[in-house]
Amino acid sequence: MVALSPRQTRSAVEQNVPRSSRKTHKDRVCLVREGQRAWIKHRDEGVKFYVSLFPQAERERRRLQFNGDATAARIEELPEEWE
């Protein structure tokens, strides 16, 4: 039996996957990344407002608190909702 290089193996695997599902996977990856960028943008806008409500001495602690809470809430969402 002839050993295949990693590149040939990947190619062989891709050939066994229908073209439509490969495209669907790529589309889903793009949608998830776009959703993540939007979420980060909104999170950063929210933290700016939230932190502005506190005295200068508390702002860093409150920023970390907000980011931790927002991230915990994001993790609890189902991955299908990230798009």
Cα maximum dimension of the chain: 71
- 9 within domain boundaries: no
- 15 within domain boundaries: no
Instruction: Write the pLDDT tens digit of every residue in 29-64.
Output: 888 899 899 999 999 999 999 999 999 999 999 999
- 26 within domain boundaries: yes
- 71 within domain boundaries: yes
Q: Residue 72 pLDDT more than 70?
A: yes
- 10 within domain boundaries: no
CB 74 within 8 A of CB 42: no
Arithmetic mean of pLDDT, 18-27: 70
Interhelix angle 59-76/19-52, rounded to 10 degrees, is 150
Full residue range of the structural domain in which residue 36 is found: 22-82
The pTM (predicted TM-score) of the whole model is 0.61
- 48 within domain boundaries: yes
Q: What is the pLDDT of residue 11?
A: 58
Rounded CA-CA distance 32/83 in Å is 5
Instruction: Give how many domains the chain has, as a whole number.
Output: 1
